[in-house]
Amino acid sequence: MYEIWLTLNILFELGLQYLPVVVATAVLWVVLMGVAASRGRPGWGKAIKPAVVAFVVVTAITFFITPGLTRSSFANMGYWVDWANLFLYAAAFGGVAAALVWPLAAMMRRSA
């Protein structure tokens, strides 16, 4: 339980440290959603597939490069919480990528 609490504290502190980036990304997403909604009939349903592809690609890339970026390695990950954290961090980056790709793809795949 301690490891999970420590992880939540680290995430909170990282969120505070990168708060301008987090806010800017959220504002960018809101603007993209607004632009997509105001430009005719965006194909929201048709845009899910590119968003899912972006999620999978970014999650996979992030999963494999994060240990090296943090000066660690997969060999140093001996506990299930380490693997869960790595996967969840990667999935979070993939989720952000999917959220940003979705309105862009919706604008390109307009409904008739």
CA distance 46 to 5: 39
pLDDT at site 4: 80
CA distance 4 to 7: 5
In this prediction the pTM is 0.84
* Band of pLDDT at residue 103, cut at 50, 70 and 90: very high
Query: Which residue's entry shows tokens 């997509």?
Result: 36
Task: Answer with the residue of higher pLDDT: 104 or 15.
Answer: 104
Q: Are 99 and 31 in contact (CB under 8 A)?
A: no
pLDDT mean across residues, the chain: 91
pLDDT tens per residue across span 14-64: 889 999 999 999 999 999 999 999 988 888 999 999 999 999 999 999 999
Residue 31, token pair as written in the block: 């603007």
Residue 69, token pair as written in the block: 């970026």
